[in-house]
Structure 1
C-alpha cells in the first residue's frame, strides 16, 4: 500500500482507447500529420496508412516539393506542398510524426521547428539516427520508438537491466520511450513501465515499425496521454500482427487494425465490469 506499482503487463484496462459516439467526426477522432522525405517515401506511406487504419480522423503528409510523388497514393490522405511554418499555423494539427523515411538533414530541418511550435511529436527512425550520441536533441518530443540499435546509438548499451535503462532514458529526455523488441518496454518519465508480450515474431519485418508509429500517433491524436497512447498502440499493433498470418508484410497489418481496436474496446469493457467501473 505504501509503494504503488510502477510496472504492468500491457493490456486493455491499463488504458482505454476512445470509442466512437454519435457526435464523433474526423476532428474529434484526431488529425495526424507526418513529415515526408524525398528518398524513402515508402516509410511515410506505411506510417500514414497505419494511422488511418487505427482510427485517425484525418492524416496529412507534409511533403513540400515532393508532394506530386506522394499524391499517387491513397486518395483519402491529404498531401501538403506548403512550407512547414505555414502548415503549423493550423492548431488542429497538433500531433506530428517525424522520422520515418527522413534523412538526418531532413530531420534537422523539421524536428526542432515542431518542438519549438509546441507540437506533440513522435520521433522514430531518421529522427533517432540524427540524435545518435545526443539524447538531449530529443528533448521536447512526446514519444520515441527506437529498436535496440537505435536506442544504443542514442543512449548507449542497454546492459543487463533493460527496464531500468529505458526508464532512465525516459527521465533523461522527458519523453515516453518505447523500446521495441520481443518484449517491448514502454517507459514514462515518471517511472511507469509497461511490458508488452502481446505480439508475434512475424512483426519483425521491414516497415512494421513505421506502421506502429502511425498507430501510436492515432492514439495521441484521439486525445490519449502519451504513455497510455504508446501502450495502446503497441498492443493494437501486436493484436493486428497476431491476426495477419504467419508471414505478413507491413502492408498487411492495416487490414487488421480496425478489428484490433474493436477487440481492445471489448476487453476494456470487460475489465471495467470486473472492477465495478461499468
Structure 2
C-alpha cells in the first residue's frame, strides 16, 4: 500500500532498511520522500537513524549518493565493510560503522569469485615490509634520497625532512644552476645540518651523482615549475636508474614521461596526485566508476603505484591491489602536507620497501602523525611526529 510519510514525524528511532549496497539507480518517488523526511527529523528533532547495510541511496562500491540520503548515526553491515563505507561522500553518511557476522565462513574469501580486491589501509597489510633499523646498518644501507628542488624550495624542504624522519640513511636536497641564487641561502637557513645540499649542475651530471653517491630514490616535481625546460628536466630525472616519486609539477600530461608514449620508466615509480592533478591524468571518460576504479585504471595504464590523495586516499598498484585510507584527519587539508607525504614515500622506498607497500605505509603514518599533532597543525609539524607514527605502525609505544 501507500507509504505513511507521517510515521517519520512520530518516530523516536528511524531504522533505514530501504535499499542496500547494491543500489544502481537513483532513489526517487515515495522512498525519496521518506528519506528526505527522515533526514529532516534527524536534523531538527535529534531522532537517531540506524542504517542497515548502507544508508539508503549510498552506492556500496563507490560511496556515491544516488538521490537523497538520510545521514545515519550508526550503520550496521554484515560480514565485511564495503568500499562505499569509507569513500566520500558515503563515508560521511554512515556515522559509526558496525560490522556484524551472519554465519558466513571467512574461508569463502579464498574463492576467486568473492576474493576481496580492496582493503582498508592498516599496518597489518604492510608491516612485514616495513624495515626496522638493524645493528649492522649504516647510512647507505638505510638508503639515500635525492629531493630535487625548483621554484618553490619550501616544498622540497618539507619533503626532505619527512624522508629523513621516515628513516632514510641520507637525504640530499639538490637544485639546478638557474635556482642557485634562491635555493642555496634558503636551504642553508632552513634545513637541519644532517641534510645535505648540492647544486646538481646540468641533468647530464645527475646520473653520475646518483651512481657515485648511491642514490636509491629520487623525489621530484614538488614546487619545481612548469616551464618547457623544467618539464624536460623532469622527464630526464624520471628515466634515471633510481626509483622515482613524482609529485605536483611532474603530474601533468604534457610532462614527457607521462605523455602516454613511454610511461614511467619502471614499476618502482610512485605518483602522488591530489584530486585536481588526478583529473588531469585520468581524464573524464570513466568518471562514474568511482575513485577506486579510476585509480586502478590509471595505475594499470601508467605502470606506477598511484596515491590518489584526499580524506579518503586511495592507493592502487598496477596489478590491481587497492586500499582506502580510513585514518586521515580534515586538518591535513592544508598547504605542504602533500609534500610531506611524498617525502615519507621516498624515505621508505629508499630503504627497500616495495612501492605499493611504501605508499600505503606512508599514507597511514602521515595521517597518524597528524593525529599526534592535534588541532592547528602545520605541514612543518608533521615530520617531527613521524617517529611516533612509525612506532605505532610497528605496534609498540614510542620511546620517551
**Which residue does the alignment assign to 2:136?**
23
- Any gaps of 5 or more consecutive residues in structure 2? 1-109
**Which residue does the alignment assign to 2:89?**
none
The structural deviation recorded for 1:140 is: 2.3
Which of these two proteins has the greater Rg computed from alpha carbons?
2
- Does residue 51 (structure 1) correspond to residue 163 (structure 2)? The answer is yes
Q: Which moved more, 1:125-134 or 1:154-163?
A: 125-134
Q: Which moved more, 1:50-59 or 1:3-12?
A: 3-12
What is the aligned counterpart of 1:185 among 314, 334, 337? 314
Aligned length: 266
Give the TM-score of the pair, scaled to structure 1. Answer: 0.89
**Which residue does the alignment assign to 1:159?**
287
**Which residue does the alignment assign to 1:148?**
275
Q: Distance in 2 between matches of 1:159 and 1:14?
A: 28
Higher relative contact order (CA 8 A, sep 6+): 1
What is the aligned counterpart of 1:42 among 116, 130, 154? 154
Answer 1 or 2: which has greater helix percent: 1
- Any gaps of 5 or more consecutive residues in structure 1? 268-278
**Which residue does the alignment assign to 2:184?**
68
The structural deviation recorded for 1:136 is: 4.8
- Does residue 236 (structure 1) correspond to residue 365 (structure 2)? The answer is yes
For residues 54-103 of structure 1, the C-alpha deviation after alignment (integer angstroms, 9 at most, x for no partner) is: 11111111213215232332221111113233332233112101101111
- Does residue 88 (structure 1) correspond to residue 213 (structure 2)? The answer is no
| RMSD of Structure 2 on Structure 1 (CA) | 1.9
Q: Which moved more, 1:23-32 or 1:236-245?
A: 23-32
**Which residue does the alignment assign to 1:205?**
334
**Which residue does the alignment assign to 1:126?**
249
Q: 1:228 to 1:136 in 2, by over 3 A?
A: farther
| Maintained 8 Å contact 1:50/1:214 | yes
The structural deviation recorded for 1:247 is: 1.5
| Maintained 8 Å contact 1:134/1:154 | no
| Maintained 8 Å contact 1:135/1:155 | no
Give the TM-score of the pair, scaled to structure 2. Answer: 0.63
- Does residue 9 (structure 1) correspond to residue 120 (structure 2)? The answer is yes
